[in-house]
A and B are shown apart, each in its own frame.
Chain A
Amino acid sequence: MKRYKWQLLLGGVKNVSDLETKIPVSGFRIGDSAPRPDGIPKVKGTFAFSSDLWHEKMLWGGTLRSPYSAARINKLDTTEALLIDGVHAVLTHEDVPGKKVYGLEYADQPVMAADLVRYEGEPVAIVAANHPEVVRRALAAIKVEYEEIVPLTDPELAESTEPIHPDGNVIRKINLLHGDQEVQGDIQVEGIYEVGMQDQAFLGPESGLAVPGEDGGVDLYVSTQWLHADRRQVASCLGLNEEDVRITLAGVGGAFGAREDLSLHVHLCMLAMRTNRPVKIIYSREESFHGHVHRHPAKMWYRHHADMKGNLLRVEARVLLDGGAYASSSAAVVANATCFAAGPYQIPSANIEGIAVRTNNPPCGAMRGFGAVQTCMGHEAQMDKLAAALNIDPVQIRLDNALKTGDKLLTGQVITGTAPVDEVIRTCAEHVSSYRASSDLMSLPGGAGRTTDPKHISRGEAIAVGFKNLMFSEGFDDFSSAVCQLEDGVATITCACAEVGQGFVTLAQQITREVLGVEEVILAPAATETVGSAGSTSASRQTWMSGGAVQKACEEVRVQLLKRLAEEHEIDTENLVLVEGQVLSLTGDFSIELKVATAEPLEARVEYRHAPTFPLDENGQGDAHVSFAFSAHRAVVDVDPELGLVKVVELVTSQDVGRLLNPLQAVGQLEGGAAQGLGLAVMEEVLVTEGNIRNASFTDYLIPTSLDMPPVEIAALIEQSEPGAPFGAKGIGEPPSISSTAAVVAAIRAATDLELARVPVRFTDIVSVEESS
């Protein structure tokens, strides 16, 4: 067997991916399409994802999960499992050394169930053994006596039902009241909308390796979005000090929100510490569907009031999110759903009730778009209804009501930054597509089935607009940390920002080159030991936050360097610039190689914060957010109304980006986000019956393939420098997933004249199917 991975671990570099990010890519600065520093190992297959970690002495771990969505555990017997040859440990809730519950915002979720299980798939016991097959046999040998309880599965009943958890069934309720509550519109349109449960469906399954430390601590290598939040929760459950839990980022195979909460972290550490052996766990795809939170299913009621010219006067809404069994980030998701419930429009009066409840359904939490995806589907359907009722062009009614800088949000907050909503809508609507639909039958609805008669196809086109906040809101102390070291002309950046595929590693190098004029930028491993928290890779925040931290650290090193040069050479540093590995005087009378000037190393360690935010008051009012990003999508669909088949043939998008830092990576975010939005519109739903997931596999939970995705044409990337943002750049990850779903479903409505108030649109929503007896 090859042992190279563990040798690298012992070599002080914590995994293969970190080693290979040392490959220098010279010359690329801010605004350039710099290539990813991890691109070469990724195309060679040598990049070490968390599922690739390996240790000669390692054991395999596994998790026994509840088959019921609600049950009492009357008996739990691990005796027989322990007798199986090759089994090293079988642990239950009794073995949790510290706090028995954890949670990202509220600690309400058991590490393993004690007397109650509250969702299907809740962990009950964990096993370590010498082979995954032995793990499976040991899990099957654990005897659990369950007494089933009638599960609470209807979120509408959660408030009025006996609490299923000591913290109650209402996770958070916000009553947002804005402006004059007596306002009535000359015209009012109303609708009820529903969004199904979406899965992040990252490809790299939950996985990691825990190694017991000789000092009583533990080292954990894991794929995650937020190393330091993991450490806080893991240490608490293990009963250890935080410094005794050392977490290093292992290669992450996508995240999209699903890795913000803990999954196998505590289990891995418990097994490693009990067996005194390294332990690895990889979830199967089925287990992954049970092992992470999903996008909240939503039920929404809206009433829009306007004058006869289509000017919005008031929006009333109720947004109900099913949080499932545990809180996760539901409280923050429902705040977003409430604050952004009515879309990027100027609305003087509003009454929005946002509520996230607890049920025995699968827990829900973060997914790309975070509450704004669900409401965008609702508010955009309402805008189309209003336009139709008034016989106004749907694009025009959006332009007439578009938010701009200086306008107030529903929270009363005045937008001080950029808000190019008008430009985003206009460019998207006016874009002339270069796409020409293929005449091949494969390109028709139904694809390879070749079931559609081209003469029956009905084409529809529609536009949708969306927005959300960037970074954390409501007074959260949101910061990132970075260290910059400059020695021999080479910069080393240490930052705990989780690279999950989004390309922060590329930006970190570009920013460093921009500020310090260096060629070679080494990225140290992202780990809890070496640097403070970077915050989460979520909320479109890392370009701004960790980008800002890297910039600040580099700026401080630059200042130190200039001060040193001023002292050593008795020169005025006002005119010095750092460029292409040299320090030059603009007047031409001084120059020194950066390599020489930094033979003695320089270092800066910084924390970076965005402008403070404030909590929402009892009426949901307050300056709760920092900055906002806007996007529009235009979708063209072909529908076979007889068969209920849909093919999305074209997507056009415009997005507000502040300033483009890496055009190629930006395109990748826009295309990939639109694919996830398309998926939610036409195919993706975690089907849940009585709390049980019915389609926990890629056979039954479909995500778009290359044949489902149309070309995504980018009409415009609107560059208006955002005040206060490093380099003026806004985060760009989430907007592509927000307005895309709404645009696709609106286009299907346009093609079919059906109301289609629910996504994903199923074929039975298009074709009425008679129930046969």
Chain B
Amino acid sequence: MSNIFYTLNVNGEDHQVADAWAGESLLWVLRERLGFPGAKNACEEGECGSCSVQIGEEVVCSCLVLAGSAIDQEITTIEGLSPEGELGDVQQAFIDAGAVQCGFCTPGLLVTIGHLLEKNENPDDLTVREAISGNLCRCTGYGRILEAVQMAAASRRGEKRE
């Protein structure tokens, strides 16, 4: 296996990838080479969304991105959502609404929902369902997750949800 060297920008910092195989996915490099295990590996074929990260303005399945193709782009992972240790509003809403059970889908959902609420602070139920339909959750049946999104959206609008 021939080995390559490159730099990835993750959560605002440059990280050196050394002595790597060119065939590695962004998910694998983030998790196993750079110490960002927050993105998860449930299907590794772009169906479950548990590996979701943001590249530039887009949310992508990092399992389908060749790591080397993400050079010179801004990559944001779940670890970048609460860099100072303080929880973001969606993270807090997930806890308050009971949206976390096993938690394996949680990082991917938080990346997806963060992206949704950046663009739309008042999404209706169907909009949210459509936005997260690429993120599978096996524990919750989605009820508490949908509730968490509406709680976070309401608080961004300055409203308090019943």
Chain A interface (Cβ < 8 Å from any Cβ of B): 1-5, 33, 35-36, 38-40, 42-49, 51-52, 54, 131-134, 200-205, 251-256, 282, 284-285, 438, 440, 442-443, 448, 500-503, 664-665, 667-668, 671-676, 697-699, 703-707, 709, 711-712
Contact A697 B43, CB 8 Å, known A668-B140, A671-B143, A703-B138: yes
Q: Are B140 and A39 in contact (CB under 8 A)?
A: no
Q: Is the CB of A36 within 8 A of B102?
A: no
Size range of the interface on B? 35 or more
Contact B21 A672 (CB under 8 A): no
Known contacts A51-B41, A712-B143, A707 near B133 by CB under 8 Å: yes
Q: What is the distance, in angstroms, from A373's C-beta to the closest C-beta of chain B?
A: 16
Q: Decide: A698 and B141 in contact? CB cutoff 8 A.
A: no
CA distance A703 to B47 in the complex (A): 11
Within 8 A of A (CB), among B132-154: 132-146
A422 to chain B, nearest CB (A): 27
Is the CB–CB distance between B141 and A201 below 8 Å? no
Using CB atoms, name the residue of chain B closest to A714.
B143
Closest CB of chain B to A141's CB: distance in Å? 15
Contacts of B34 in A (CB 8 A): 1-2
The complex places the Cα of A204 from the Cα of B102 at a distance, in Å, of: 9
Q: List B62-78 residues whose CB lies under 8 Å from chain A.
A: 77-78
Q: A203–B98 Cα gap in the complex (Å)?
A: 18
Return 24 A-B CB contacts under 8 Å, by A number.
Answer: A36-B95, A36-B100, A38-B103, A39-B94, A43-B106, A45-B110, A49-B37, A49-B103, A54-B32, A131-B1, A134-B1, A203-B136, A204-B104, A253-B42, A282-B41, A440-B126, A442-B126, A501-B102, A501-B139, A665-B98, A668-B98, A671-B141, A671-B142, A706-B129
Minimum CB–CB distance for B118 against chain A, Å: 18
The 10 closest A-B pairs by CB, nearest first: A45-B38, A2-B35, A501-B102, A42-B103, A45-B78, A675-B141, A253-B104, A671-B141, A698-B47, A501-B101
Other 8 A-B pairs with CB < 8 A, given A1-B35, A44-B82, A45-B78: A43-B95, A133-B1, A253-B42, A503-B101, A667-B143, A668-B143, A697-B47, A706-B128
Question: Residues of B contacting A282 with CB < 8 Å?
Answer: 41
Check if A502 sits within 8 Å of B146, measured CB to CB: no
Looking at the complex, which one of B37, B47, B102, B138 makes contact with A45 (CB distance below 8 Å)?
B37
| CA distance in complex: A625, B45 (Å) | 44
Q: Which of B48, B91, B98: most chain A Cβ within 10 A?
A: B98
> How many residue pairs, one in A and one in B, have C-beta atoms under 8 Å apart?
194
Contact B129 A45 (CB under 8 A): no
Most buried by A among B21, B35, B37, B138: B138
Complex CA distance for A254 and B139, rounded to whole angstroms: 7
Q: Which of A131, A204, A205, A442 contacts B21 (CB 8 A)?
A: A131
Of B82, B100, B144, which one neighbours A667 at CB under 8 angstroms? B144
**B interface majority secondary structure:** loop
Contact B41 A202 (CB under 8 A): no
Asked if A438 contacts B126 (CB within 8 A), the reply is yes
Among B37, B98, B130, which residue has its beta carbon within 8 angstroms of that of A48? B37
Rounded to whole Å, the gap between the CB of B109 and the closest CB of chain A is 10
A43 touching B142 by the CB < 8 A rule? no
Q: Are the CB atoms of A672 and B140 closer together than 8 Å?
A: yes
| Residue pair A39, B95 in contact (C-beta under 8 Å) | yes
Q: Which B residues lie within 8 Å of A251 (CB)? A: 103
| Interface residue? B50 (CB, 8 A) | yes
Q: Which of A43, A500, A697 contacts B100 (CB 8 A)?
A: A43
Select the residue from A46, A132, A254, A706 with max chain B CB neighbours within 10 A.
A706
**With A45-B79, A203-B105, A503-B101: A706-B132 Cβ-Cβ less than 8 Å:** yes
Task: Decide yes or no whether B14 CB sits under 8 A from chain A.
Answer: no
Main secondary structure of the interface of A (DSSP, over half): loop
Most buried by A among B82, B128, B141: B141
Asked whether B129 lies within 8 Å of A40 as measured between CB atoms, the reply is no
Residues of B within 8 A of A132 (CB): 28
Give the residue of A43, A665, A672 whose beta carbon is less than 8 angstroms from that of B91: A43
Q: Distance in Å from the Cβ of B103 to the closest Cβ of chain A? A: 3
As a 0/1 sequence over residues 74 to 114 of chain B, the CB contacts with chain A under 8 angstroms (1 = contact) are 00011101100001000110111010111111110010000
Is A51 in contact with B40, judged by CB distance below 8 angstroms? yes
Alpha-carbon distance between A689 and B42 when the two chains are bound, in angstroms: 25
Partner of B101, one of A43, A133, A440, A672: A672
Which B residues lie within 8 Å of A205 (CB)?
Answer: 41-42
A229 CA / B132 CA spacing, docked (Å): 38
CB distance A44 to B91 under 8 Å?
yes
List chain B residues, Cβ under 8 A from A46.
38, 79
Report Cα–Cα, A664/B147, bound state, in Å.
12
CA distance A225 to B32 in the complex (A): 26
Answer yes or no: B31 CB below 8 A from chain A CBs: yes
Name the B residues within 8 Å of A47 (CB-CB). Answer: 103
| Closest-CB distance, B126 to chain A (whole angstroms) | 6
Q: Are B45 and A697 in contact (CB under 8 A)?
A: yes
Cα A667 to Cα B148 in complex, Å, equals 14
In the complex, what residues of A have CB within 8 A of residue B79's CB? 44-46
Asked if B125 CB lies within 8 Å of chain A CBs, one says yes
The answer to whether B145 and A706 have CB atoms under 8 Å apart is: yes
Contact residue among B48, B91, B130 (Cβ-Cβ distance under 8 Å from A203): B48
When C-beta atoms are compared, the residue in chain A nearest to B79 turns out to be A45
B60 → chain A closest CB, angstroms: 16
Contacts of A255 in B (CB 8 A): 102
* A673, closest chain B residue (CB): B141
B121 within 8 A of partner (CB): no
Given contacts A253-B40, A438-B126, contact A285 B35 (CB under 8 A): no
CB distance from A246 to the nearest CB of B (A): 23
Residues of A within 8 Å of B42, CB to CB, are 203-205, 253, 285, 698
Instruction: Name the A residues within 8 Å of B38 (CB-CB).
Output: 44-46
B56 at the interface (CB under 8 A from A): no
Contact partners of B37 in chain A: CB under 8 A: 5, 45, 48-49, 52, 54
B68 to chain A, nearest CB (A): 15
Asked if B143 contacts A201 (CB within 8 A), the reply is: no
**B140 and A671 form a contact (CB under 8 A):** yes
A674 to B142, CA, bound (A): 11
A4: contacting residue among B35, B96, B133, CB under 8 A: B35
Please tell me if the beta carbons of A254 and B100 are within 8 angstroms of each other in the complex. Answer: no
**Is A43 in contact with B110, judged by CB distance below 8 angstroms?**
yes
Residue of A1, A45, A133, A698 with most partner-chain B CB within 10 A: A45
* A295, chain B: closest CB distance, angstroms: 14
Given contacts A285-B43, A705-B136, contact A203 B102 (CB under 8 A): yes
Task: Please indicate the chain A residues that have their CB under 8 angstroms from the CB of B133 in the complex.
Answer: 705-707
Are B126 and A45 touching (Cβ within 8 A)? no
Shortest A704–chain B CB gap in Å is 8
Across the interface, B144 reaches (CB within 8 A) one of A2, A442, A668, namely A668
A665 to B140, CA, bound (A): 10
CB neighbours (8 Å) of B139 from chain A are 254, 501, 668, 672
Residues of A within 8 A of B141 (CB): 671-676, 704, 709, 712
Residues of A within 8 A of B41 (CB): 51, 205, 282
Q: Which residue of A lies closest to B77 (CB)?
A: A45
Nearest chain A residue, comparing its CB with the CB of B103: A42
Inter-chain CA distance A254–B95, complex, in Å, is 18
Q: Which partner residue on chain B sits nearest A202 by CB separation? A: B138
Give the chain A neighbours of B50 by CB distance below 8 A.
203
CB-based contact B40/A43 at 8 Å: no
Give B124 Cβ to nearest chain A Cβ, in Å.
Answer: 9
